[in-house]
Amino acid sequence: MKDNVSGLVVIETEGEIGLIRLAKPPVNAIGLALRTAIYEGFKTLQKDPAVRAIVLYGEGRFFSAGADIKDFGKADIQPTLPHILKALNDSEKPVIVALHGVAFGGALEVALATHLRVGVGDLRIGLPEVKLGLLPGAGGAQRLPRLSGLAGAIDIICSGRDVSAREALDLGILDRLAEGAPREAGIIAARDVLAGKLAARRTDTRDVAEDLAAVKAAKARLKAKRPALQAPLTALEAVCAATLPIDEGLAKERALFMELMAGEERAALVHAFFAERATVDIPEKAAHPRQIDRIAVIGGGTMGVGIATSLLIGGYHVDLIEAQSERVAQARAGVESNLAGALKRGKLTEQAHDAALAALDCADSLDAAGRADLVIEAIFEDMSAKTALFTKLDTICKPGAILATNTSYLDVNEIAAATKRPQDVIGLHFFSPAHIMRLIEVVVAKETAPDCVASAFALARKLGKVPVRAEVCDGFIGNRILTQYRRAADYLLLDGASFTEIDGALEDFGFAMGPFAVSDLAGLDIAKATRDRKAATRPAEERYSRVADLICDQGWFGRKTGQGYYVYEGGKQQGGNPGAFEIVAAERRALNLPKRSFTSEEIVSRCLTAMIAEAVRVLEEGIALRPVDIDAVELFGYGFPRHRGGPMHQADLIGPAELIRRIELYANDDPQFWQVPHLLRDMAREGRSFADLNGALTGHVTKGSTK
Ligand code: CAA
């Protein structure tokens, strides 16, 4: 017998064994249709008197990635997963599952409700719900502890981490490891169960011992490490319910799950999940990427070294070119140290580490660029130095080679014009440390060829990065928004909030560090150099805070000099710098500014509103394709708290009318800085949200002035 119910599962029998194969590409996500198909298939096999055991397995790369995340927030429709899993658990016929690839979330919950679990090949399992602002709500928080014990389950569920098949076996989550095809592994296990060689058992019949020490330690850890997050602590509460009788535990778990499902944290984290994947939808996606094997990176500073490391980890051959011969060895040492770090953190195997080292050549001559399929320039931010370099590269590089600049704000059109091949020139803006940060802004200049853009996206994906398409403007997407965020913080400081209050408010909102702590880390001298360069073009009417310049005048450049906004000892922050407090107070006196007080809420609102207003201008001008691309930039390049979803997601929560009200209110202080973008007024009038704008490419919405 073979039956394909709704094209989603295949039901067949092999002797006494009934088989259910999940067949919903690409990841067998368990939405309503697949749920229903599994349940119908299961009932069919239950009724078949010839079937004595039932095997579940998946086709494709994975058993299943879990519940269909696109369904979140929709009404529960029968048969729900808990309902189906109860039926699996209660089955008189043994139910066996053979897992391969991944079994995450709801998929693992399916497995936990069966009577025997086989892990095939290099399977990874996990309950990553907390990463989506949820907890396992289909019995996972009750059944996992019944197999692994309370402490093991708390660790897995509250962290959401992946677990290897070997570890899962050791923890008692899996009953057997196997190699080969999941179908055969499942059949062999089912036969062994029927022959009495392998014990199959209902998970629900097992007991869970209390473990007060593990619960207490987990609670303290979560509160210290992730105080802003609701899901991990709620998940802990759900796991603790596993010591109750199973029906009570299941009911409690489901109630907590539904609470989280309705919450903002869940919505933001799901938005972030899709944002990470949405940015590859670009106008150039049909173009065929060029072949890239060998890459030259020019510039052996921090950026060049980080980029080279990232490319080597991605499996490319890299020529790292540093013009100052005395600095070549230092550049190589930098890459070696980064690779050693990646090996230590388990990001690279020993073999991959050695292969990466062998694929690195360092030189002081540009000649090596002649062999490259892609050249990435990472020298200092100076237009004349960059144009001179690109003119040279034009003569050295082979036809069809892509010439990329890592500039963070300079005009890529001007750089392209320094060559006779502007169609091959593109911006690849990596973020420091480039081998760790996932964002790459792919800056498309006027004449950049579509296949050049497609190649940049293909490269970024191969590196495991999040590429976001940006058009040319000063600062592209991210640095443009950062500038306004920083200005809002600087104005708050002048107007009366202290830098510790501002940092504290934004850290409570979820940023790992507030803007002043970040400045200290990045080096106050670096930002000063940028300000000095731009001084000549700064509009005369723009409000300018001299505080950072005055701190630099003291020789305080932040963490590296032991003092900045904060004082540091042995690299550890010791609190606000009294000298910096005094500089701020003196500057207020000099400007005759009254010291106003701001609540944390208003501090966050002003900084966030400034970001949102600039993000809307970035959209209006077509610099970013969609709101979701802006969120991806902020989440993966600028440390915007993931559980807040990004500035555009926040903008939808606040709503255009309220944003306009806030901007108009703040404009009483500074009408030059606080201006309402046209698009925001249009959206308020038409009742549109930024999520609505994500549906189609929205670039060039209303090209032109926004003021
Ligand atoms: N639901 C819906 N779509 C999913 C999905 C899911 N659970 N998991 C992946 N997808 C989609 C992705 O959005 C992507 O779609 P597009 O091609 O349209 O962008 C496609 O499947 C392929 O995914 P990836 O690009 O991520 O492929 P990958 O090979 O790099 O990674 C993966 C595969 C490891 C499974 C990864 O996608 C992943 O980790 N997925 C999320 C798993 C997860 O969090 N599951 C738990 C869900 S919550 C739950 O299950 C409990 C519950 O009952 C509510």
567-581: per-residue pLDDT in tens?
999 889 999 999 999
Contact between residue 494 and residue 545 where contact means Cβ atoms under 8 Å apart:
yes
Nearest CA residue ID for atom 39, ligand 1: 65
d(CA 43, ligand 1 centre) in Å = 27
- 205-230 pLDDT tens trace: 999 999 999 999 999 999 998 888 99
Domain map of the chain by residue range? 2-262, 294-476, 498-502+512-595
Choose which residue among 22, 27, 68, 164 to substitute to test ligand 1 binding: the one with the highest number of ligand atoms within 8 A of its C-beta.
27
Judged against a pLDDT cut of 60, whether residue 699 lies above it is answered with no
- What pLDDT sits at residue 179? 97
The runs of H, that is alpha helices, within 149-263 are: 150-159, 165-170, 182-194, 212-225, 231-240, 246-261
Count CB neighbours of 189 within 10 A.
26
Q: Which residues line ligand 1 (CB under 6 A)?
A: 26-27, 29, 62, 65-70, 81, 102, 104-106, 128-129, 132, 134, 137-138, 277
Identify the bridge partners of residue 569 per DSSP, sorted by sequence position: 572
Catalytic residue at 310?
Answer: no
CA of 595 to the centre of ligand 1 (A): 50
Cβ-Cβ contacts under 8 Å for 497 (sequence gap 6 or more): 597, 598, 603
Contacts with 138 (C-beta within 8 Å, 6 or more apart), sequence order:
67, 80, 81, 82, 85, 106, 109, 110
Instruction: Check pLDDT > 90 for residue 623.
Output: yes
Q: What is the pLDDT of residues 413-431, one digit of tens each?
A: 999 999 999 999 999 999 9
Our CA angle for 313, 319, 325, nearest 5°, is 125
| Distance in Å, CA 286 to ligand 1 centroid | 23
CATH 3.40.30.10 at 498-502+512-595, yes or no: no
**Band of pLDDT at residue 5, cut at 50, 70 and 90:** low
Dihedral angle at the C-alpha atoms of 283, 289, 294, 300, nearest 10 degrees?
0
Contacts of 173 (CB under 8 A, 6+ apart): 112, 117, 125, 144, 147, 148, 163
With a pLDDT cut of 70, the percent of the chain lying above it is 97
- CATH superfamily of the 2-262 domain: 2-enoyl-CoA Hydratase; Chain A, domain 1 (3.90.226.10)
Question: Which residues have C-beta within 8 Å of that of residue 317, sequence separation ≥ 6?
Answer: 293, 294, 295, 359, 361
Q: Is the ipTM of this complex over 0.90?
A: yes
Catalytic residue chosen out of the listed positions 91, 310, 408, 455: 408
* pLDDT above 50: residue 510: yes
Whether residue 1 has pLDDT greater than 70: no
For 322, the 3-state DSSP assignment is coil
pLDDT over threshold 60, residue 700: no
Catalytic-residue membership of 479: yes
For domain 294-476, the CATH class is: alpha beta
Average pLDDT in the 467-477 region?
A: 96
Q: Is the pLDDT of residue 705 over 70?
A: no
